[in-house]
Structure 1
């Protein structure tokens, strides 16, 4: 005998799979959370400040 399949469950599972795949595409496309973005921005600003702090001043010496 073959296994009985509930078509409603099959349809809903298929919709869930499609939605999850679209979510994965969006995650790859848009990437990071707000906290991750702000952390990266803060690190870039600190790196720039540190670099500027090590720069020699061009004076008339």
Structure 2
């Protein structure tokens, strides 16, 4: 991969890494999640790029 391509991809990769980290921490701390089990949401969090965003939209508990 060329340096130019890496420079363009780096911000998106950092954004996805941050979102995934936030989702994992939130799932671990949560008492429960909406629409499913915590294990399922943890596995989905690693499906890039949509997993974390699906959790934010549909799985995150709104307590």
Shared topology, TM-score over 0.5?
Answer: no
TM tier, shorter chain? Answer: 0.3 to 0.5
TM-score computed with the length of structure 1 as normaliser:
0.43
Bigger Rg, which one: 1
TM-score computed with the length of structure 2 as normaliser:
0.42
Greater relative contact order, per chain length (Cα 8 Å cut-off, separation 6+): 2
